[in-house]
């Protein structure tokens, strides 16, 4: 495990699933465009009388440490940015600065918070 210091990058394996997304029309006389994309996280499915988490691929969550600061008597804080890399290798995400305590940051670096099952990818049916 890397040390939490400025410039350190933590690559955390993260589950992804496929999702349909409606994009705005490309032209004034066209309708919305439906696209299939990867979404970080899991899909919850009903199995008998309980819900189970499933994912269709494994990508990554990239956490880049900007700084660590201990403000007086308060717990140390980690300032970091987060990006995503989907199972196809595409990088995305906003560069917003995030702040959390050191223990909470370390929990994020351990992986996804729930157990999940990796299932065969399926492509949602796109209706014309």
Decide if 54 is inside a domain. yes
- Is residue 125 over pLDDT 60? no
| Structural domain boundaries enclosing 77 | 9-118
Beta bridge partners of 55: 118
Our count of domains for the chain comes to 1
CA distances, 127 to each of 17, 25, 59, 124 (Å): 19, 16, 28, 9
Distance CA 95, CA 30 (A): 33
Whether 3 maps to a domain, the answer reads: no
Is 124 domain-assigned?
no
**What secondary structure does DSSP assign to 39-55, as a single string?**
EES-EEEEETTEEEEEE
Task: Give a yes or no: residue 57 inside a domain.
Answer: yes
How much is the pTM?
0.81
Using the predicted structure, report yes or no on whether residue 1 has a pLDDT greater than 70. Answer: no
The verdict on residue 98 lying in a domain is yes
2 in any annotated domain: no
Q: Report the alpha-carbon distance of residue 50 to residue 68 in Å, rounded.
A: 41
Q: Give tens-digit pLDDT for 28-68.
A: 677 777 888 899 999 898 888 889 889 999 999 999 999 99
Asked whether residue 106 is domain-assigned, the answer is yes
The whole-angstrom separation of Cα 53 and Cα 41 is: 9
Q: pLDDT of 107-118, one tens digit each?
A: 999 988 888 888
* 42 belongs to a structural domain: yes
């Amino acid at each position: 495990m890397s040390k939490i210091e400025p410039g350190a990058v933590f690559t955390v394996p993260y589950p992804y699933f496929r999702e349909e997304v409606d994009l705005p029309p490309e032209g004034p006389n066209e309708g919305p465009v439906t696209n299939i994309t990867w979404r970080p996280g899991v899909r919850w499915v009903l199995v008998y009388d309980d819900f189970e988490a499933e994912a269709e691929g494994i990508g990554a969550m990239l956490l880049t440490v900007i700084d660590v600061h201990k403000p007086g008597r308060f717990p140390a804080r980690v300032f970091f940015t987060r990006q995503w890399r989907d199972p196809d290798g595409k990088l995305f995400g906003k560069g917003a600065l995030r702040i959390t305590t050191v223990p909470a940051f370390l929990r994020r670096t351990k992986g996804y918070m729930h157990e999940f099952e990796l299932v065969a990818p399926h492509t949602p049916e796109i209706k014309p």
